[in-house]
Structures are given as structure tokens and as C-alpha cells.
Amino acid sequence: MPAIRSNLKSVMEKHDPDLSIRKLAKDVNYHFDSIRRMYKDEMVQYPRDLLLRLCTYFNVPPGQLIVIEDYDQGNDLRFDGASHQEKLNDH
């Protein structure tokens, strides 16, 4: 069964392996606990303002911060906008 999960940890490590959660929270001017929950994939809902700040900071689209993981297959399912839109239009 697919599930949505945070990919913030991976994005942070690619951007700067030494970047801490505390420094990121300070840099994007957001609550440390919210950043920590997203980093540890414990967040239930993703605030749009947080996603915008993180996307801007890391220069990535939201689909790199949040991924759909197929637990049955053990794979991340990543969609680019065009192919996903085509699938939606087919239905």
C-alpha cells in the first residue's frame, strides 16, 4: 500500500551533509519542532508555508521533499508533473 513520506533528510544530506535541523529552522525562520518532525517523517500534515520555505531554500520542487513510497515494492514512486497529469487525463 503506498504511503506519503517526508524526504527532507535526504534533501538536507545532498544539499549539505553538515546542515543541522536547528540551523535549517533558523535559516528558513520556522519552528524547530516542525522541521524536526518533518525530518524524522513524523509529520501528519505538511504546512504549505513550510513547504514553500523549504522548496525555496533547497531550490527543489515539492515532489522532492515529499514522496510516495510503495511499501509493497519498497520503492519510492516519484511523479513528474507531465506524466502524472497525463495519467489523470486518461481517466
Per-residue pLDDT of the chain (91 residues; tens, 9 = 90+): 889 999 999 999 999 999 999 999 999 999 999 999 999 999 999 999 999 999 999 999 999 999 998 766 555 555 544 444 444 444 4
Q: Which of 60, 75, 69, 73 is nearest to 13 (CA)?
A: 60
Range of the domain at 19: 2-90
pLDDT of residue 70: 79
Q: Which residues contact 57 (CB under 8 A, 6 or more apart)?
A: 24, 27, 28
Backbone angles phi, psi at 80, to 5 degrees: -90, 155
What whole-number distance in Å separates Cα of residue 14 and Cα of residue 35? 17
The total domain count for the chain is 1
Amino acid 66: pLDDT = 95
Model pTM score: 0.76
- Report residue 20 as a C-alpha cell: 543541522
CATH number at residue 15: 1.10.260.40
